[in-house]
Structures are given as C-alpha cells and as structure tokens.
Amino acid sequence: MTVSPEITARLSHIKALPAVEQALSFLERDVDRTLEEQIELAAIPAPTFHEREKALAFCDKLTAVGLEEVHLDRFVNALGVRRGKGKGQSVMVEAHMDTVFPLDTDLTPRREGSRIYMPGLNDDTSGMTSILTVIRALNEAGIETEGDLWFMGTVEEEGVGALGGMKKHMSEHKYDASISIDGAGFGTVVFNGTGLRTCEINFHSKGGHAAGAFGKVANSLYAAARCVVKIASIEVPPESGTIYCVSNFHAGNDAGINAVAADSQIKINYRSHRQEYLEELHEKIMKAAEEACAEETARWGCDTVTWDTKEYVNVPAVSQSADIELVQATVAVMKDRGIEPKLVQGGATNCTMGIYAGVPSVCIGSGGIGGGAHSLEEFFDNTDRHIATQATLLLALVMAGVKE
Ligand SMILES: [Zn+2]
C-alpha cells in the first residue's frame, strides 16, 4: 500500500524536529523500566468485570507521568489527558486492562532467558505500559502537541465483556482518532472489525417418564437436535469471514436416564466481517430453532415445545477504508521503523468500537515478542520493544500535530 505524499511529508517534518529525535532515543533507553512496570501491573488480578484495582494502579501511573484530569470514568476505564496547545486533532491511545484469568490465578513471573512467563503480561499489560513509556518520552523531550492526547486503560475487552469498556466510553466521548494497542508483536494493522455473536437457545417441553410418557409428550432434546442439524446445513457466503459453531449441547442429567428431558440447551458462536451477513445468519439460526420446535411438536401432537434465547456477546461488524488518514499514517510510521505493515481484514479488538462510534480507529501491537496469550504459559519478551513504541509515538504526533 502506498502512502499519500501529504502524510509522508508530515512524518518527515515531525521526525526532523530535534525534540522528536530525543523522544525516540529515550524510548530505546526506557525499555527496562517499562518492563518492570509491566510486571508490576500484571501482578494485579484483573479478570473481566474485576478491573478496578488495576485501574486505580494505572491511574496512579498516569498521574505520575503528569497527565491531567486522571480519573475512572463511570465504567471504570482509567484515563487522563495531555492537553494540546493548539487546534489539532484529539487522539485517544488505549489498551485494555482486563485478562482472561480468574482472580485466584498464580501471577508470579517466571524468567527463562529473555522471556518472562506471566498470565496477562502480554495481553494486554504490554499495551498499558507502552502508553506509559510514550508519555514519558513526550515529557522527557518537552514535546507539546497541537491536539489533545488522551490515554486510557479500558475494561471489559475480553470474552463476554465483548469490548464493552471501549464501547461504553466511546458512546459518550468524541475523539478525532483512536489507537488501540493490544498484545505483543508489531506490524499488523487492524482497521476494521469482525462481527461476532454468541448466544444460547433453550428448548422447553413437559418431560416425563421415558416409557410412561412415550408418545404423550414431545422431547426438548429432539427439538434441540433438530435445530443443530438445521444449523449444520446453513450455507455461508465464501471469503467473508462468515462462520458458525454450535459449541455446546446440554440436555438431561445422569439421574434422568429413564426420563424425557424437559429442558435442553445449545450454545452457538457465529461471526462475519460483514454486518449484513451476520444478521442474515442470525435470522437463519432463529428460524432453525422455530422450525425445530414446530416439527418436534407436530411429531407427537401432544404438547408444544417452546424456545427462548439469551445473548452473551453481540459485537457488530464494522469497516473503514484503508485510505483514511489514520490507516495511512499507521502504515507510514511502520515503514519508517523498518516494518512491513500487514493490513488485516476483520479482527475483534477495541478498534471495532471506535469505528462503531464513528471514530477513525486502528489497533496495533505493543512490540516485543509474545506468545501463549490466554493461557497460563503466556509470555512476553522485551526484544526490540522500542520499535513499536517509537512508531506509536510518531503516529500520535502525526495525528495530533506537534506545536513548534
Ligand atoms: Zn487483548
């Protein structure tokens, strides 16, 4: 992808400023401290919906690096601002604070060579601490921006949190651009979002004795099974990231092996890069449940099988053009740091909720090397971390403008 001459010129101009040069070299020297801070923050348990303690610790860090208006918003997102001195664009830089690990998880770091094993260290405490080092670099070099730079740790990104912290915050606040930093590595640019939904469908019938009620009642388990068979034959549009998976099937219990199950449940996860395909798929799944109940009811002609559904996750599919200023600028700063950017279609990151709110948004990595995300063997390795933090700093400056 080629970058517009205007963005290229803006980046070259910013890079030529002595203060920016100073900030970039500071980032190289600040990696060890950043890693220490990362271990310190990752040691605070923060499963989704339990982020408050980590959020307060992050607020302390944001205050320590001199941000103004540091506070928790009403959703427990932790944020503060570095006010601009002109009329430039306001830029939000955020990383999520929550992890997928229960409160009682052992969060003791284990070092092996340059790797540090610690749940949550990579995803996404690395993003949180990239934010801190970038602010320190701006301070150290005395850089003032034209637009406001906001920095935030978000809640409820993972699992059933479903990007909720970002979604709620963005529904009440307006920025000109949003940069999410999520997880180790650098070079991938997420600039649109895969839609994804997860729901359960419950089937209800009277139940009864396996023999005594035979022919006299319908069977919720059969209705659930009919529904699964119908879902399994749904065709999806190719090349659109559209998938579905019935991931759970629960019916009956061990004590009831001689019983018609009164209640049965399936869980389904389904996704698409395109919102209209996701909605179409949703309709087909609901129709499958409706038809399955009707067929099971008609088969016995005795009672009526009913169904209801509960939704766990509903993230919309969103997209932006790859030609917008923010995506171009992201590509430009990556190339500038010697990284060949990879623009990916889809993704399920907080960037989705920025775009959903109408804010140009990207999600990039925090640098270093990481692996084992969402497992107890999660690790982070600080090697070449500064390349990503330098690019992030440049990106924020290109978007917000430097006050000269
Ligand atoms: Zn993450």
37 and 151 assigned to the same domain? yes
Residue 346: pLDDT over 90:
no
* 317 contacts 358 by C-beta, under 8 angstroms: no
Q: What whole-number distance in Å separates Cα of residue 331 and Cα of residue 345?
A: 15
For 302, the domain range is 195-315
DSSP state of 146: S
Query: What does the buried/exposed string (b/e) look like for 278-316 if buried means 16 or more CB atoms within 10 Å of the residue's CB?
Result: bebbbebbeebbeebbebbbeebeebebebeeeeebebb
Span from the CA of 235 to the centroid of ligand 1 (angstroms)? 31
The residue out of 262, 285, 315 marking a domain boundary is 315
Predicted local distance difference test score (pLDDT) of residue 72 = 98
64 and 127 assigned to the same domain? yes
The helix (run of H) or strand (run of E) holding residue 342 is strand 342-344
210 and 238 assigned to the same domain? yes
* Cis ω for the linkage preceding 384 (within 30 of 0): no
Q: DSSP of 213-232, one letter per residue?
A: TTTTS--HHHHHHHHHHHHH
Span from the CA of 84 to the centroid of ligand 1 (angstroms)? 29
The CATH number covering residue 266 comes to 3.30.70.360
Predicted local distance difference test score (pLDDT) of residue 207 = 94
Predicted local distance difference test score (pLDDT) of residue 227 = 98
189 and 211 assigned to the same domain? no
109 and 9 assigned to the same domain? yes
Percent above pLDDT 90 for the chain: 97
Structure tokens given for 54 = 């980590």
Span from the CA of 127 to the centroid of ligand 1 (angstroms)? 9
Span from the CA of 275 to the centroid of ligand 1 (angstroms)? 22
Give pLDDT tens digits for 236-245.
999 999 999 9
Residue 345: pLDDT over 90:
no
Q: Predicted confidence band at 143 (pLDDT cuts at 50, 70, 90)?
A: very high
Span from the CA of 124 to the centroid of ligand 1 (angstroms)? 5
Predicted local distance difference test score (pLDDT) of residue 20 = 98
The residue out of 284, 315, 346 marking a domain boundary is 315
Residue 1: pLDDT over 90:
no
Span from the CA of 140 to the centroid of ligand 1 (angstroms)? 29
148 and 290 assigned to the same domain? no
Span from the CA of 143 to the centroid of ligand 1 (angstroms)? 29
270 and 387 assigned to the same domain? no
Q: What whole-number distance in Å separates Cα of residue 341 and Cα of residue 300?
A: 60
Span from the CA of 115 to the centroid of ligand 1 (angstroms)? 19
Task: Tell me the mean pLDDT in the region 78-88.
Answer: 96
Residues 6+ apart with CB under 8 A from 290: 307
Structure tokens given for 187 = 């070079």
Closest CA to 349 of 238, 150, 172, 189: 189
Give pLDDT tens digits for 27-78.
999 999 999 999 999 999 999 999 999 999 999 999 999 999 999 999 999 9
Structure tokens given for 57 = 């610790």
The residue out of 288, 315, 342 marking a domain boundary is 315
266 and 289 assigned to the same domain? yes
Query: What does the buried/exposed string (b/e) look like for 60-85 if buried means 16 or more CB atoms within 10 Å of the residue's CB?
Result: ebbeebebeebebbebbbbbbbbebe
269 and 300 assigned to the same domain? yes
Span from the CA of 164 to the centroid of ligand 1 (angstroms)? 13
Predicted local distance difference test score (pLDDT) of residue 52 = 98
Q: Which protein residues have their CB within 5 A of the ion that is ligand 1?
A: 123-124, 182
How many structural domains does the chain have? Answer: 2
Q: Predicted confidence band at 202 (pLDDT cuts at 50, 70, 90)?
A: very high
241 and 307 assigned to the same domain? yes
Structure tokens given for 43 = 């040691």
249 and 328 assigned to the same domain? no
The CATH number covering residue 87 comes to 3.40.630.10
Span from the CA of 180 to the centroid of ligand 1 (angstroms)? 10
290 and 324 assigned to the same domain? no
Task: Tell me the mean pLDDT in the region 317-326.
Answer: 96
Predicted local distance difference test score (pLDDT) of residue 162 = 95
Span from the CA of 159 to the centroid of ligand 1 (angstroms)? 10
Q: What whole-number distance in Å separates Cα of residue 304 and Cα of residue 3?
A: 62
Q: Predicted confidence band at 2 (pLDDT cuts at 50, 70, 90)?
A: confident
